[in-house]
Structure 1
Amino acid sequence: MNTTIADRLSIAQSRINQAAQKCSRMPNEIKLLAVSKTKPNSDIIEAYYAGQRLFGENYVQEGEQKIIELSANFPDIEWHFIGPLQSNKTKVVAEHFDWMHTLSREKIAQRLNDQRPPAKAPLQVCIQVNISQEDTKSGIDAEQVMALATQISHMPKLTLRGVMAIPTATDDIQVQQDEFSKLQRIYQHLQQHFDNIDTLSMGMSGDLDVAIANGSTMVRIGSAIFGDRA
């Protein structure tokens, strides 16, 4: 049986609700970020009419184009940049996106701050932590988070909201548990030292339950909503 994007959004939300209830959390504590990279505007609009407002994009130019084309008619979409960002492309993210999840360098933070238009609200940012300590993964080591957070706190056009990670791609529940638990401790440590820390961005389709059990406040789901990439 063919399912629609609205159907799959509903299924994803049900999974979040069930995972939250399993660990005695309120489902409304966890936001669903629909990862719309490589998907056409028509899919985003379909998800919008099904009630979705948070969308994540991985590619700078693609995301910019979508925001330009959709913002006039759908101004309440919240656009999240969740991909790697080179310093020569910070201006696009600073000018167009509402959130940036993958901040891991002071140089990038400073450019985003300096390039954020004065009329726009501060860019909401998360520090990406390389929680699995894999050479192929972006993000900073856990020990470097506080120093970068302190630097960001002095940048008026950025608001630090929390941390984000892409854990080891594995079905081993214990590995997932260890990595998510470590990120949760970093998040809680930040909460003790900075204002506005309310976002623990971790968990995707395959590890959603473990992420939520470890305090995730935002899960990123793509193909389970929009289907596999063409």
Structure 2
Amino acid sequence: MSNDTLSSRLDQIRARIGHECVRVGRPAEAVRLVAVSKFHPASAVEEALTAGQRIFGENRVQEAREKFPALREHWPDLKLHIIGSLQTNKALEACRLADVIESVDRPGLVDALSRAADRLGQLPDLFVQVNTGDEPQKSGVPRHEASQFITLCKTRFGDSLKGVMCIPPEEEDPAPHFAFLAQLAHEHELIECSMGMSADFETAIAHGATLVRVGTAIFGTRPKP
């Protein structure tokens, strides 16, 4: 994909974000774009960086490790979000690599991240992932346990817990899921709400998203991993 094409796609997404913010009466800077680069090569990330994008999302720690340390040498202001399910044995490496981990979803991972923070003396910003559709195949804390789990994470991580994240069921209207997540963030005084992807990010913005995660609409169809 040429730089012009990727750059123009980024411009289109940014324009749509700005337009939706105006429509619902929110300042454009209230919503930030996470470009989801999973399965795409480092060269595609570099094209996006050249086009002005700075926040990226990766699902797998191993893939992030292969791409981002070298990119950081040239683009020190880039931000890496781990957005996929995180294994406890990858917690330490995730804390080394990432600026944000969006997929905190179970007590065992809370413990692993606490140990990693003790060892490294640092901790990324953390989001609780909520399984708003209670789908058995998806990661995320169950809906009915979310509030209690957020309270646990606030106790363990303090100000490092910044927000919440969700991926609504594909076949359902995402709006009620986004509304639930935004209300949860409000109740717990969390400032970040990561919701909305290529097909529904405008709906997410209307319901209070502060971060939208867009991959296909920027990078095109994902290559086979």
CA contact (8 A) 1:125 1:158 kept: no
Q: CA deviation at 1:68?
A: 2.3
Which aligned pairs between 1:11-50 and structure 2 lie closer than 5 A?
A: 11-50=12-51
Contact kept? 2:134, 2:143, Cα under 8 Å:
no
Q: Which residue of 2 aligns with 1:190?
A: 188
Please list, as runs of the form range in 1=range in 2, the aligned pairs for 1:1-230 lying within 5 A after superposition: 4-116=5-117, 118=120, 120=122, 122-156=123-157, 159-170=160-171, 175-191=173-189, 197-230=190-223
| AA of the residue aligned to 1:25 | R
The alignment covers a number of residue pairs equal to 220
- Structure 1 letter corresponding to 2:198: S
Q: Is the 8 A contact 1:8 1:225 kept in 2?
A: yes
Which amino acid in 2 is paired with 1:188?
Answer: H
Percent sequence identity is 34
> Which TM-score applies when normalising by structure 1?
0.89
Q: C-alpha separation between the residues in 2 aligned to 1:223 and 1:215? A: 22
Output the CA distance in 2 between the equivalents of 1:96 and 1:178. 33
1:156 and 1:90 map into 2 onto residues whose CA distance is: 14
Q: Counterparts of 2:59 and 2:128 in 1: how far apart (Å)?
A: 16
For the residues of structure 2 that align with 1:149 and 1:142, how far apart are their CA atoms? 11
Structure 2 contact 21–206 (Cα < 8 Å) conserved: yes
Could you give the per-residue CA deviations for residues 81-130 of structure 1, whole angstroms, max 9, x where no partner exists? 0001111221210211111011111211221122135454x310110111
Deviation at residue 147 of structure 1 after TM alignment: 2.4
Aligned mates of 1:45, 1:62 — CA distance in 2: 15
C-alpha distance in 1 between matches for 2:176 and 2:78 = 34
One-letter amino acid matched to 2:206: A
The two structures, once aligned, show a CA RMSD in angstroms of 1.7
Query: How far apart are the structure 2 equivalents of 1:67 and 1:119?
Result: 21
Q: For the structure 1 residues 223 and 205, does the alpha-carbon distance in structure 2 shift closer, same or farther, using more than 3 Å as the test?
A: same
TM-score by length of 2: 0.91
Structure 2: unaligned runs, 5 residues or longer: none
Residue 187 of structure 1 aligns to which amino acid in structure 2? A
